[in-house]
Every structure is written in structure tokens, then in C-alpha cells.
Amino acid sequence: MVIPWLSVLWAAPIIGAGVVMLMPRRALAKWVALAVSLLALGVTVVIAAGFDPGGEQYQFVESRRWIPSFGTGYILGVDGIALALIVLTAVLVPLLIVAGWNDADNAAQRRSVHTYLALTLAVEGMVFMSLIALDILLFYVFFEAMLIPMYFLIGGFGADRVASSKAAVKFLLYNLFGGLIMLAAVIGLYVTTAGSDAFGSGTFDFRAIVAAVAAGDFAVNPAVLNLMFAGFMFAFAVKAPLWPLHRWLPDAAVEATPASAVLMMAVMDKVGTFGMLRYCLQLFPDAATLFRPLIITLAVVGIIYGAVVAIGQTDVMRLIAYTSISHFGFIILGIFVMTTQGQSGSTLYMVNHGISTAALFLIAGFLVSRRGSRLIAAYGGVQKVAPVLAGTFLVAGLATLSLPGLAPFISEFLVLIGTFTRYPVLAVLAATALVLSAIYVLWLYQRIMTGPVREGNERLRDLVPRELAVVTPLIVLLLVLGIYPKPALDVIDPAVGHTLTTIDQPDPAPTLADGNAP
């Protein structure tokens, strides 16, 4: 009997969410939710161990009939890019459950612990399905469905119920609008496949459509393809988010609990950049090439904008949220320069950003929960009373500014190299964020952690064992992937090669100083 591992992967958290709701006691619900997330991690380990980077592009494929009259099926598969993000998700969610162990107890008006944990598991399961779906309609359903549990996590468990509700509505409206635009493009894609000689009828089979596009058999008016590309890209750009569609992110990140904010920024939002890499490029390669200059320009603006605005923040959590806008700019830049280094760096950046942001945001959340204030000015001298907290905060902050030896450095370096081969001016502009990130991270650390102990901080506790259990694996991963990223790149590189071959985008030939190829 062949075990359908991908079905088990996404179904375990979804079913687990229902089981958690049935638990009679709050403490038992917490332990069951943690056990379910660890089960998902175990399944991920099995998939990762059985994945052959040099084998077929999509592995562990499952295909079943779903709605034949609509040309849609239950088709699952995983490639190296999806696998990297699955591993990230499976590693982070157990840590987020432990980090948010008391979040529902401390939420305004004490919301249900069962609901909080069930919503977290639901988001995890839907993210898994979005990463493994090879049917476009199936992907779309879960791409939109994950907004609902995330909406309740943001709006229902923040410290300020009114502000949290407003942030949740803003999050939902932005993303639903993007999803509606994408729905029109999904319908348009089905209609165009139905009218194409390459297909017997309309289809949502991603692999079949990509194969027809690559072979030149999917003949459609370029203007129509451009519009469909814009529909997909708009939805992914909102989710990612790409400047100037980022306005929902800072509010949602600040008003949610730290664990829920990390689930949103480090896990759920990666589906947006993943969608760009898989769907925008491979379904619409010509349109992606046409819009490439505009998109990478917006990405560079976002890189600089996020870093500059972060410098001026007085709220520590909002500062970290703006750094993510800058980092997402790097990820999108690497995707759309369409080079091997750029796309490998972007995929690795998705993983490394998830780890570094989780570490920095959670440690800041632990600090805020002790002091009761998000204002940077309320702190000072914390390293004297909580040295472990200060030390781990420094490591996470240095990772955020891409210090060599920590995980984000190699991914940012690859993105810049890949960009420079096609767009040297934009690469130089993007590199200015290295200086800006040093300013906001080091200045933040100086104001919060160094100097004399400010009044009200004398009795701040250091990290307790539960918090250390969350932070330690993240710091270890930052160090390991910073020193030895080869295992991750060995999985990512072949998938990136498949993508670039499919869209017929070879790397630019190197040139000498006189402009001639060697």
C-alpha cells in the first residue's frame, strides 16, 4: 500500500483542528495541538527524506478525479521550492504554538484557547495545501480560505480588541480584493484552455497548461495573457506584500499576538511569493518578461522604503514589521530578475526570512509581554537585567541585517548577484538597504538593550525555559544555514533550473570589461 503522504500532510492539521475543539480542558487542547503540529513535522521529515532532488520535477504525486465537468482534479505534488517552504512551515508551527502557549489566556476578554489553537492548525493545513496543489482551482480555494482563520487570529486575540478588529478587517479587505481579481484571471484561464486546440476541454491542470505553454501549443492573444498575468500577480503582490500594496501588513502584525503575526509574515505570506515563482512565471512567461522591469522597480522601491520607514519607528513591533516589507522586496526582486542565482537566493530567502523574523519578532514579543509597552523609549539597559534575552535579540537582529555567517546573508548575496547580471543599477540601489538595515537594527538594540537601566525595567525576567525552547532552535538554524546552506540549495537549485528552462530564460552570459563575452 502506497501511503498518500501529501494528503496526510495537509489533512493532519485540518483534522487536528477539529479534534482540538473537542478537547474538554484547555491544557489538554494545548498538548493535543502541539502533538498534531509535531505529527505534521514528522510527515514532512518523511517527505523530505524520500525526495530526490535529481529526480522528477514533481514527486509524491497524487491524482484523483474531483469535478470532471470543470476540468479540475485533486492533484498534488511537491518540487524542491515547495519542499523548502513546507519544511519551514512544519518547523515553525510547533514553535509558534509553544511561543503562544498563554496568548489566548492573556487575550482581551479571554478568548477560547481551543479556538486559537484550532485556527493556527487550520492555517498550517491550508498553507500546506497551497504549496502542494497542482490544480489551479484547488490552489485558489485554499489560497483564499486561509484568510478566514487568519482574520480571526488577528482580530480575536490581540491585546486591544478594537484596534485588532480594525487591523483584521483591513487585512481581510485587501486580500479578498486581490483574490477576487485573481478569480477573474482563473476563470479566464479556464475559458482560454477550453477554446484552445491543445486541450480537449477546459482544464485547471497546472502541469498540462505549463507543458502546452512551453511547447508553444497554447496560442492565446498576448493582451489576454497579459491581463491574466496581472490578475494572478495582483493577488500575490497583495499577499506578499509588494510596495505599494503593503499597507495592511504593519497594522495586522502589530495588533495580532506575536505568534500569530509570525504565522502570517513568516508562513502565510510566503504563499504569495511562491505563487509568483510557480504560477506567474510558468503560466505566463512572456507577460512576466514584459512586466519584469516594472515589478523589479517596485521591489527595489519596497526594499528601500521598508528600511527607511523602519528607522523612524517608535514602536518596536511596527519596526520589525516594516523590515519584512524590505525583505519581501528582496525576494520578489530575485524572482523576477529570472536568473539562477536570483531565484535560488529568493527561495532560500523565503526560508531564512521566516526563521530570522520569527526569532526577532518572538523575542521582542517576550520583552513586550514583560514590560507591557511596545514603545522603544520605554526600554533601556535590558541587557543588564535579562542578558540571555538581550543576547538572542542581538543574534536575531544581526541575522535580519544579513550579517555574514548568519542564514539571511547568503540568500541576500545570491539575490544581489543574480540581479547585478541583468540590472546592475538596480542591484546597487538594492544594496543600499544593507546600510539602512544596519542602522535600524543596531540603533534599536542600542536604545532597548544598552545604557543604564530605565525606570520600570529593573525587574524584567530573563527568558524562561519555555521561551528558550522556542528561541534556541531558531538561533541554531540561523547559524547552521549561515555556515552550511548546501543541503537547502541542493534541493532548491534543480527546481529553479526546471522553472528557468520552462520559461526559456537562460542566465546572461558573463561579459568582460570591454563589454564582450569571454
Inform me whether the pLDDT recorded for 112 exceeds 70. yes
Cell of 35: 502533538
pLDDT confidence band for 111 (50 / 70 / 90): low
HSE value, Cβ hemisphere, 13 Å, CA-based, for 227: 13
pLDDT confidence band for 510 (50 / 70 / 90): low
pLDDT in tens, 228-247: 999 999 999 999 889 898 88
Distance in angstroms (rounded) separating the CA atoms of residues 71 and 61: 18
Tell me the three state secondary structure of residue 514. Answer: coil
Q: Between vectors from CA 210 to CA 204 and to CA 214, what angle results, nearest 5°?
A: 150
pLDDT confidence band for 457 (50 / 70 / 90): confident
Inform me whether the pLDDT recorded for 338 exceeds 50. yes
Question: In the chain, helix, strand, coil percent, each to 5?
Answer: 75, 5, 20
pLDDT in tens, 339-368: 999 999 999 999 999 999 999 999 999 998
Cell of 225: 495573457
Distance in angstroms (rounded) separating the CA atoms of residues 196 and 217: 8
Q: What backbone phi and psi angles, to 5 degrees, belong to 284?
A: -130, 60
What's the DSSP call for residue 68? G
pLDDT confidence band for 372 (50 / 70 / 90): confident
Distance in angstroms (rounded) separating the CA atoms of residues 511 and 314: 46
Instruction: Enumerate residues 6+ apart whose C-beta is below 8 A from 421.
Output: 337, 339, 341, 507, 508, 510
Residue whose C-alpha cell reads 509568483 in the numeric block = 276
In the chain, the N- to C-terminal Cα span, in Å, equals 55
Q: What backbone phi and psi angles, to 5 degrees, belong to 25?
A: -125, 150
Tell me the whole-structure pTM to 2 decimals.
Answer: 0.92
User: What is the torsion angle, in degrees rounded to the nearest 10, for the CA atoms of residue 274, residue 278, residue 280 and residue 286?
Assistant: 140
Position 139 scores a pLDDT of 94
Inform me whether the pLDDT recorded for 42 exceeds 70. yes
pLDDT confidence band for 220 (50 / 70 / 90): confident
Cell of 99: 511561543
What does the pLDDT average to over 291-295?
A: 93
Prior bond to 293 cis, omega within 30?
no
Q: What secondary structure does DSSP assign to 184-202, as a single string?
A: HHHHHHHHHHHTSTTSSS-
Position 515 scores a pLDDT of 52
What does the pLDDT average to over 128-154?
A: 93
**Which amino acid belongs to residue 263?**
L
Inform me whether the pLDDT recorded for 323 exceeds 50. yes
What does the pLDDT average to over 73-87?
A: 94
What does the pLDDT average to over 173-194?
A: 91
Instruction: Enumerate residues 6+ apart whose C-beta is below 8 A from 502.
Output: 210, 213, 214, 282, 285
Position 2 scores a pLDDT of 80
Q: What b/e sequence results for 447-486 when a residue is b if at least 16 CB atoms lie within 10 Å of its CB, and e otherwise?
A: bbbeeebbeebeebebbeeebeebbebbbebbeebbeebe
